[in-house]
C-alpha cells in the first residue's frame, strides 16, 4: 500500500495527472492482494472523481457503497513497519549501522498515507452528515465505525510515528467518549513535549531530535576526544619529524627526564581535551557542525589540540635539563619530547578508538530500539496508560 499512498499524494499535489489516479491505485491494490485498506484508497479515488465532476454529495453513496460496505470490521494495517524493516536491512547490507540504517529507512519510506488521511476523513464526514440527513442511519453508522476502526488501528499499530500522531489527533476530534479523546490528546502532547526536550543529533545524516540523548551525548564525547587525540598526535608527529635531525644527532637529548617530560606533556594535552569536553559541551556540539569548506570553517578542536600540543612540547623542552657532560640544543630536546608524546598520544588514540567503537555500537542498538517504538520508549509507562481506554474500545 506504500505505492498507493504515493500515487494518491502525487495526484493531490499535482505531480501526477488526475486521470492516472484510479489506474495507479488499482494496480497497487491488486499487488497488495486482499488488503482492505486498498478499498478505502479506491473509495477516496472515487470521491476525488465525484468532487472534480461536481457531483452533489447526495449522490455519492450510490457510487461509494460498493467500496465501503462490509468494512466496519476491516483490517487496515498499512504494513509500514514491515517496509521500513526491509529498507533498514538493505542499508545494513551495505555496511550501515543498525540505528542509522533504521533512521534512513524511515526517511526513505516517508509517510505516504498522511495525505490520504487528510483528504479522506473530511469527505467521509460529509458523507456521514448526508446519510444522516437522508435518514439512512445504517449507512451513516457504518461509515462512523469504519472511521473509528481505521484511526484506532493506525494509532495502536507500531510504525511511522508521524502517522500515529496524525491519526490520534483526528480520532480525538470524532470519538464520542470524552475520556478517550482526552487521553489521546495527552498521549500526543506527551510525545511532542518529550521530543522538544531532546538535543538535535550531530553524528547522523539527518538533523533530528536524538532518540537516545544519553547514548548520543556519550558517543559525541568519545568522538570529540578521539579527534582531539588524533589531532594532537599529528601535531606532535610533525614536530618530531621536523626536529628529527636535531634530537637524533644529540644522544643526550633522550634521557629519563625526557621520558618523564614527554609523558607530562601528553598528560597535559589529554587533560586539556577532557576539560574542554567537560566545561564546553555546547561548543563541542557546535564544533561537529562545522565543515571543511574553507579553512576558517574547519573544526576548531583540530587547531586547539594542535596549539596546546605545540605549547606543551616546547614548554617541556625549555624545562628539560640535559646531562652535565653534553649540552643538547632546545631543538633536540623539543624533538625528543615530541617523539615521546607522539607515542603516548598514539596509544591513547587507539584506546579511545576502541572505547568509541563500543559507544557507537551501544548507541546504534538503543537508537534502533527507540525508532521502532518511539512513543512507548520515549514516554514510558505513561504512554501505555493513556492508550488503555482506546484499547478497551472496540468500534
Q: Over its length of 395 residues, how does the chain's per-residue pLDDT go in tens digits?
A: 555 556 666 666 655 566 556 665 565 555 444 578 888 988 888 898 888 889 999 999 999 998 899 888 888 988 888 889 999 999 999 988 998 899 889 888 888 888 899 999 999 999 999 999 999 999 999 999 999 999 999 999 887 888 999 999 999 999 989 989 999 999 999 999 888 888 888 877 667 888 888 899 899 999 999 999 999 999 999 998 888 777 666 555 556 677 888 889 999 999 999 999 889 888 888 888 887 777 777 888 889 999 999 999 988 888 875 544 345 677 888 888 898 999 999 999 999 999 999 999 999 999 999 888 888 888 878 888 888 888 887 76
The DSSP string of 91-156 is: HHHTT--HHHHHHHHHHHH--THHHHHHHHHHHHHHHHHHHHHTT-HHHHHHHHHHHHHHHHHHHH
- Scanning the structure block, which residue is given the C-alpha cell 624545562? 319
* Alpha helices, DSSP H, located in 157-243: 161-174, 178-197, 213-242
pLDDT for position 205: 62
- Per-residue cell: 120: 479522506
Is residue 212 classed as helix, strand or coil in its secondary structure?
coil
| Kind and range of the H or E run holding 69 | none
pLDDT for position 325: 39
Point out which residues pair with 200 in neighbouring strands: 209
Burial 158-190 (b: 16+ CB within 10 A, else e): ebbbebbbbbbebbbeebeeeebbebbbbbbeb
The DSSP string of 319-368 is: H----TTS---HHHHHHHHHHHHHHHHHHHHHHHHHHHHHHHHHHHHHHH
pLDDT for position 207: 72
Among 113, 232, 101, 228, which Cα is nearest to 163's? 113
Residues 6+ apart with CB under 8 A from 2: 79, 80, 83, 109, 112
Q: Where are the domains of the chain?
A: 2-174, 213-379
The torsion defined by the Cα of 350, 354, 355 and 359, in degrees rounded to 10, comes to 140
Point out which residues pair with 209 in neighbouring strands: 200
Residues 6+ apart with CB under 8 A from 52: 18
What is the reported pTM?
A: 0.77
Amino acid at each position: 500500500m506504500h505505492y498507493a499512498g504515493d500515487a494518491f499524494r502525487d495526484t493531490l499535489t499535482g505531480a501526477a495527472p488526475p486521470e492516472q489516479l484510479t489506474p495507479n491505485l488499482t494496480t497497487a491494490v491488486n499487488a497488495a492482494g486482499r488488503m482492505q485498506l486498498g478499498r478505502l484508497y479506491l473509495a477516496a479515488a472515487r470521491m476525488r472523481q465525484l468532487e472534480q465532476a461536481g457531483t452533489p454529495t447526495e449522490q455519492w453513496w450510490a457510487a461509494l457503497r460498493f467500496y465501503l460496505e462490509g468494512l466496519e470490521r476491516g483490517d487496515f494495517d498499512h504494513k509500514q513497519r514491515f517496509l521500513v524493516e526491509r529498507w533498514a536491512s538493505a542499508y545494513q547490507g551495505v555496511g550501515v549501522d543498525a540505528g542509522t540504517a533504521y533512521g534512513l529507512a524511515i526517511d526513505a519510506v516517508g509517510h505516504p498515507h498522511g495525505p490520504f488521511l487528510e483528504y479522506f476523513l473530511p469527505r467521509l464526514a460529509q458523507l456521514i452528515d448526508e446519510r444522516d440527513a437522508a435518514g439512512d442511519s445504517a449507512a451513516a453508522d457504518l461509515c462512523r465505525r469504519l472511521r473509528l476502526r481505521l484511526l484506532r488501528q493506525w494509532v495502536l499499530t507500531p510504525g511511522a510515528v508521524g502517522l500515529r500522531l496524525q491519526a490520534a489527533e483526528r480520532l480525538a476530534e470524532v470519538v464520542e467518549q470524552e475520556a478517550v479523546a482526552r487521553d489521546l490528546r495527552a498521549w500526543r502532547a506527551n510525545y511532542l513535549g518529550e521530543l522538544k526536550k531532546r538535543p538535535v543529533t550531530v553524528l547522523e545524516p539527518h538533523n533530528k531530535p536524538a532518540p537516545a540523548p544519553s547514548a548520543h551525548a556519550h558517543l559525541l564525547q568519545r568522538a570529540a576526544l578521539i579527534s582531539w587525540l588524533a589531532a594532537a598526535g599529528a601535531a606532535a608527529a610533525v614536530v618530531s619529524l621536523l626536529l628529527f635531525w636535531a634530537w637524533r644527532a644529540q644522544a643526550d637529548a633522550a634521557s629519563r627526564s625526557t621520558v618523564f617530560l614527554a609523558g607530562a606533556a601528553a598528560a597535559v594535552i589529554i587533560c586539556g581535551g577532557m576539560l574542554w569536553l567537560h566545561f564546553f559541551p555546547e561548543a563541542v556540539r557546535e564544533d561537529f557542525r562545522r565543515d571543511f569548506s574553507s579553512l576558517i570553517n574547519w573544526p576548531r578542536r583540530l587547531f586547539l589540540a594542535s596549539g596546546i600540543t605545540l605549547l606543551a612540547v616546547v614548554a617541556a623542552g625549555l624545562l628539560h635539563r640535559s646531562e652535565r657532560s653534553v649540552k643538547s640544543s632546545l631543538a633536540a630536546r623539543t624533538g625528543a619530547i615530541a617523539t615521546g608524546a607522539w607515542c603516548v598520544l598514539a596509544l591513547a588514540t587507539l584506546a579511545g578508538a576502541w572505547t568509541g567503537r563500543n559507544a557507537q555500537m551501544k548507541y546504534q542498538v538503543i537508537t534502533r530500539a527507540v525508532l521502532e517504538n518511539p512513543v512507548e520508549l520515549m514516554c514510558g509507562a505513561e504512554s501505555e496508560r493513556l492508550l488503555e481506554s482506546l484499547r478497551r474500545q472496540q468500534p
